[in-house]
Structure 1
Amino acid sequence: MTPGARISAAVEVLDLILAGQPAEQALLRWSRASRFAGSGDRAAVRDLVFDALRCRNSHAALGGALTGRGLMIGGLRAAGGDPAGLFTGEGHAPVPLAAGEGTGSAGEVSDIPDWLAPLWNNSLGADADAVAAALRQRAPVWLRVNTLKATPAEALRALAENGIAATPDPRLATALRVTENERRLSQGRAYRDGLVELQDLSPQLACAALPVAPGMRVLDYCAGGGGKTLAVAARAKGLVLVAHDADPARMRDLPQRAERAGVKVRLEADPAGRFDLVIVDAPCSGSGTWRRTPDAKWRLTEAALRDLVALQAEILRKAARHVPPGRHLAYMTCSVLDPENDGQVTAFLRDHPDFRQVSRHLWTPLDAGDGFFLSVLTRQ
């Protein structure tokens, strides 16, 4: 596909998304209907679409319209390019620009939804604008070295076999930031043999901060794909790991991932008993990950956020029943919004005076990877 044809494809996909279709679904629909597109074309169109969604409002302002075409025009202008060079109408390129089209100005346009802006500012304070700006950029790719199978040096050598370059983070030697050829990861020995797992730096730092000791019983109460379960598994020997999710289908890949990582995990639909550590990585707005899932930023509503906060409170209440005195409950979200984080913990402690908070951290793209919150509570 020519650059102009890729622009046309991105316009088509973006119009589907703006009409209400989830981004991944719209991209899959286009891909299935475009058998002529190679893997490089599909990756390029995906990048164009996600870049436009990260900067939806400002690119629409520059492009003069909140349409797929307007977003592509605005994106080209934001990058310092001339849209007329690609909007030629030749081949499969978009039709040429009309007189005066794409001459708007972004000005003070924010790429945070208008209704959310006050809450965003209150939650992040002086960092609000900087975090919003960071979410307009692509997220880096991070790996976690599985120390049950390799040292960081061994993992780096295995990655290099496939031309994948990565560097360790000074705060956590097992966290590797990929700097070259991330799209080769799934085909390489390091990933295939379980030497590394895809996991952002912020949740890696959170898992490293959990109170884990040999022989503990650990319950991952909202396990999903099991990333936190596998990260904790490498922290100490003899752990008894139990994974639970209200929707068991979310855990369908966990057995295969655990086998690849060399970890034993029990999947339980209705976990019983008490545990030394209960991890609650609660469903949330995902506001800390919006540079990875930018369409979620524009689909979130006030009503949906209220429902999420209520669901988080219910999950915390249920999970707390599995924590005996002297043991720990770890509450996590990939959000930077206060009602889902400190506000949620404050409400829980008010209703559960036998718990107290022993540590708390909020990571943002300014100091780690994704936005991520951790509160470690203990039952007295």
Structure 2
Amino acid sequence: MTPAARIQTAIEILDTILGGQPAEQALTAWARRSRFAGSKDRAAIRDHVFDVLRRRSSFAALGGGNTGRQLMIGTCRANGVSLDEAFSGGSYGPSPLEPSEQEAGAEARDATDRLDIPTWLWPAFQADLGAKADDVALALQNRAPVQLRVNIGKSDRGNVQKKLQDEGIETVKHATVKTALNVLEGARKINNSACFQEGLIELQDASSQAVVEALSLKPGMRVLDYCAGGGGKALALSAHDGVTVVAHDIAPQRMKDIPKRAARAGVEIQCVSTADLVEMGPFDIVLVDAPCSGSGAWRRAPAGKWELSQARLDELVAIQSQILSQCAELTSLEGVLAFATCSLLDVENTQQVEKFVSAHPTWTCTFSKAWTPLEDGDGFYTAHLTR
């Protein structure tokens, strides 16, 4: 595909997304219809789409509107791409710009458009992040780093780095997270690498790894990953020698890949239903990576930035509160209830913990930490609650 054809395809996919279809579904549907497209074409088109979703407001301002075509015009202007070449009207490419399109568009003047944060959310975003708000918003406009977790149950970072290098994948050690590697080159080779196939590595954000690293895991402990999803944290937990890991999710289908991932990693993870949890408890550690706004991970899932509403945020806060109360009953008397979100918002983080402690006077918060995208990872928060 030519660069112009890739732009036209991105325009069509963006229009589908703007019409209400989730981004991943729109991209997958296009890929299935387009067997002719090579891997480089698919990667380039995906990059176009996600770059636009990260900077939808600022690109809309530059492009003069919020259609797929206008957003890609804004993208080209932002990146210094010649509009005459990109919109030449050539085969499979977009038609030339109309005079009105040539004249439309300007740099975003409003701070929320310039920083690509929804207008309704900006006051809370700014209040919660203080002096860091602008820099965090700007960081969210860019792609997240590709990061790996080294399976410490099988190897160490140094040996894994050497093996990856032999396969054309260049990495550096993360500065603060002991299990994490930052990928510098060869990211698209990871899933087919021997290191991945042999269970030496998993793709996982460094801040997500840091949430597990903050726990005092000891042999003999029984640990519950209550909102396990695809099992990233459950796998990180199970890499620790002598720790028994149980995974749960309210939607069991989300855990369907855990057995395969666990076998590759050489660990055992028991996936259980909600009905079985009461009989299996209590647990020494209950990790709750709760449903949240995902604001700390908007570089990876940027559509969520524009889909979030005040009503949905209120709903998520209520769900988090309910889950915390449920998980308190699954935690042993001397155990730790570890709450985590990939959110940057205080209402989902410190305020949620304060509300729990207020409603449960026998509990106290003994540890808390927040990460932002300025610290070489996603935005995350975690707090340890004990009786």
TM-score (norm 1): 0.97
CA contact (8 A) 2:59 2:75 kept: yes
Quote the offset at 1:107 in angstroms. 2.6
Are 2:377 and 1:373 equivalent residues in the alignment?
Answer: no
CA distance in 2: counterparts of 1:265 and 1:211, whole angstroms: 19
Q: Secondary structure at the match of 1:88?
A: coil
The aligned residue for residue 263 of structure 1 is 267
Instruction: State how 1:260-299 maps to structure 2 within 5 Å.
Output: 260-269=264-273, 270-271=276-277, 272-299=280-307
CA distance in 1: counterparts of 2:151 and 2:350, whole angstroms: 31
The aligned residue for residue 226 of structure 1 is 231
The aligned residue for residue 126 of structure 2 is 121
CA distance in 2: counterparts of 1:341 and 1:76, whole angstroms: 38
Instruction: State how 1:89-128 maps to structure 2 within 5 Å.
Output: 89-102=89-102, 103-105=104-106, 106-108=108-110, 109-110=113-114, 111-128=116-133
Quote the offset at 1:29 in angstroms. 1.7
Quote the offset at 1:368 in angstroms. 2.9
CA distance in 2: counterparts of 1:4 and 1:170, whole angstroms: 40
Question: Aligned partner of 1:258: which letter?
Answer: A
The aligned residue for residue 4 of structure 1 is 4
The aligned residue for residue 202 of structure 1 is 207
CA distance in 1: counterparts of 2:296 and 2:345, whole angstroms: 8
Q: Secondary structure at the match of 2:286?
A: strand
Q: 1:189 aligns with which of 188, 194, 211?
A: 194
Question: Aligned partner of 1:81: which letter?
Answer: V
CA contact (8 A) 2:339 2:383 kept: yes
CA distance in 2: counterparts of 1:32 and 1:324, whole angstroms: 49
Question: Aligned partner of 1:323: which letter?
Answer: T
CA contact (8 A) 2:16 2:26 kept: yes
The aligned residue for residue 324 of structure 2 is 316
Quote the offset at 1:181 in angstroms. 1.1
CA distance in 2: counterparts of 1:167 and 1:378, whole angstroms: 36
TM-superposition CA deviations, 1:239-270 (whole Å, max 9, x none): 12111111111111111111111111111112
The aligned residue for residue 142 of structure 1 is 147
Question: Aligned partner of 1:203: which letter?
Answer: S
CA distance in 1: counterparts of 2:96 and 2:72, whole angstroms: 13
The RMSD of aligned alpha carbons is: 1.1
CA distance in 2: counterparts of 1:273 and 1:139, whole angstroms: 37
Are 2:62 and 1:62 equivalent residues in the alignment?
Answer: yes
TM-superposition CA deviations, 1:84-105 (whole Å, max 9, x none): 2210001111101111415411
What residue ranges of structure 2 are gaps of 5+ in the alignment? none
What residue ranges of structure 1 are gaps of 5+ in the alignment? none
The aligned residue for residue 249 of structure 1 is 253
CA distance in 2: counterparts of 1:12 and 1:28, whole angstroms: 13
Question: Aligned partner of 1:350: which letter?
Answer: S
TM-superposition CA deviations, 1:304-324 (whole Å, max 9, x none): 111111111111100000112
Comparing 198-207 with 31-40, greater Cα deviation is found at 31-40
Q: From the two aligned structures, give the one with the greater helix fraction.
A: 2
TM-score (norm 2): 0.95
Question: Aligned partner of 2:245: which letter?
Answer: L
CA distance in 1: counterparts of 2:3 and 2:251, whole angstroms: 42
Q: Secondary structure at the match of 1:84?
A: helix
CA distance in 1: counterparts of 2:318 and 2:9, whole angstroms: 40
CA contact (8 A) 2:284 2:335 kept: yes
Identity %: 52
CA contact (8 A) 2:54 2:299 kept: yes
Question: Aligned partner of 2:229: which letter?
Answer: G
CA distance in 1: counterparts of 2:84 and 2:298, whole angstroms: 30
CA distance in 1: counterparts of 2:84 and 2:351, whole angstroms: 49
CA distance in 2: counterparts of 1:65 and 1:85, whole angstroms: 21
The aligned residue for residue 46 of structure 1 is 46
The aligned residue for residue 348 of structure 2 is 340
Are 2:218 and 1:217 equivalent residues in the alignment?
Answer: no
The aligned residue for residue 328 of structure 1 is 336
CA distance in 1: counterparts of 2:308 and 2:149, whole angstroms: 30
Question: Aligned partner of 2:179: which letter?
Answer: T
Are 2:368 and 1:360 equivalent residues in the alignment?
Answer: yes
Comparing 243-252 with 28-37, greater Cα deviation is found at 28-37
The aligned residue for residue 312 of structure 2 is 304
Quote the offset at 1:129 in angstroms. 1.0
Quote the offset at 1:211 in angstroms. 1.8
